[in-house]
Amino acid sequence: MWARDVEVMLGVWLIISPFVFVHSDEATLLWASDFAAGGLVATFAVLSYWRPARHAHLLTLLVALWLVAFGRFGAASPLPPGMQNEIVVGLLLMMFAISQLRDAAARRLV
Amino acid sequence: MSQSLRGFPAERADLSVVIPPWKHNPSAWSQRIPICILALVATVIAAYMAMYQWRIVDDVWDPVFGEQSRKVLDSDVAKQMYGWFGIHDAALGALAYLGDAIFGLAGSTRRWQYRPWLVILFGIDVIPLGLVSAILVVAQGTIVGYWCFLCLVTAAISLALVYMAIDEVYASLKLLYLVGKRTGSAKAVWLAFIGRPFESADQAAAEMVRRAA
């Protein structure tokens, strides 16, 4: 499922973001947020390939909400690049997390 | 009512049914792929303008209005929105256009019935957001007093997308309306909205469709 693959890539992007955007040493929460969110997103996406956990990617929505909220309100504007990155990636993840290529094919009439 | 116009069981359903008043299936790939391509073009243009606002590129290309583009992208209105959203308005626009493409790609060619929530989300991304962005661009021309060629291109794309997406959104809304009329139950409309298959919803859908010629 292509959306899950994109989510893994975005998770990896979050994990390398502190080095790309050169977060300051004082921004501990931003470092932690990038690492934790990235790790969780990639984990949920990979877990979704395992049938019993196929809806795990929906948990990514919660992580995405955190990213947008923390990115927007975690600092005064104008926001530092690392925070803006969290907003953008959060919004991207929201769109991908609810996407699923196939629909009702497996469903039965009840 | 022909049994084979039914949507369930999905394995045996005809996915490419026509929905009057149109002569086509609004969820067909031939309808959706052009939307996705156009939306991706707008994504690239908006991302380019966002790169200017972030000063990743130093200048913004404008063959018609020249310097005016920069004045629009650096205008007080743009700065105001940057203050509100935390990211530049062009970046938000790029995300919205990308959303149009992603939501355009998801789902089968009978998704107007199987996943109305997705079609309606797609519709919200395309129609109100598209109209708002088109109005904003015109407002920049009239209030800020300068025009920006690429902004006008994306506004034109927004309006084209509204026109192209409206049939599919109409199909999903009509299905929900018919389910409500048939069952008189808000819960049934909700179940149809999230795509849970049940008898009266499928009958309502079958009532809407014709076989493709």
Q: Is the pLDDT of residue B171 over 90?
A: yes
CA distances, B93 to each of B97, B98, B123 (Å): 6, 9, 16
| CA angle (B65 as vertex; B64, B68 as ends), nearest 5 | 160
CA closest to B93 among chain A residues: A88
Pick the closest to residue A45 from A3, A89, A90 (CA basis): A3
Q: Cβ–Cβ of A77/B106 closer than 8 Å?
A: no
Mean pLDDT of B11-37: 92
> Is the model more confident about B4 or about B86?
B86
Enumerate long-range contacts of B50-53, CB under 8 Å, 24 or more apart: B50/B87, B50/B88, B50/B90, B50/B91, B50/B93, B50/B94, B52/B90, B53/B78, B53/B82, B53/B88, B53/B89, B53/B90, B53/B91
Which of A20, A68, A94, A107 to substitute to test the interface with B, most B CBs within 10 Å?
A: A107
Contact A88 B95 (CB under 8 A): yes
Q: Do A109 and B202 touch (CB under 8 A)?
A: yes
Distance CA A99, CA B89 (A): 24
Asked if this assembly's ipTM is beyond 0.90, the reply is no
Quote the DSSP letter at residue B17.
-
Kindly identify which residue of chain B lies nearest to residue A94, measuring between CA atoms.
Answer: B99
B173: which residues sit within 8 A by CB, 6+ positions away? B116, B120
Q: What is the pLDDT of residues B139-170, one digit of tens each?
A: 888 888 899 999 999 999 999 999 999 999 99
Q: Are B100 and B125 in contact (CB under 8 A)?
A: yes
pLDDT of res. B92 = 94
Q: Is B211 exposed, middle or buried (0-12, 13-18, 19+ CB in 10 A)?
A: exposed
pLDDT at A110: 45
CATH number of B28-166: 1.20.1440.130
CB contact under 8 A, A109 and B82: no
Give first-to-last CA distance, chain A, whole Å.
27
Q: Answer whether A104 sits within 8 Å of B199, measured CB to CB.
A: no
Distance CA A72, CA A86 (A): 8
Asked whether A35 and A80 are in contact (CB, 8 A), the reply is: no
* pLDDT of amino acid B3: 53
What is the pLDDT at residue B1?
Answer: 46
For range B8-19, the mean pLDDT = 85
Cβ distance of B8 and A91 shorter than 8 Å: no
- Banded model confidence at residue B86, pLDDT cuts 50, 70, 90: very high
User: Distance from A99 to chain B by nearest Cα, in Å?
Assistant: 6
B176-208 pLDDT tens trace: 999 999 999 999 999 999 988 899 999 999 999
Structural domain spans, chain B: 28-166
Question: Among residues B137, B135, B156, B58, which one has the least CA distance to residue B90?
Answer: B137
The residue among A84, A95, A101 with the most chain B CBs within 10 A of its CB, best to mutate, is A95
Please, what are the averages of pLDDT over each run of 10 residues along chain A (110 residues)? 90 97 92 97 94 90 97 90 96 90 53
| pLDDT score recorded for residue A109 | 53
Chain B positions touching A109 (Cβ under 8 A) are 8-9, 197-199, 202
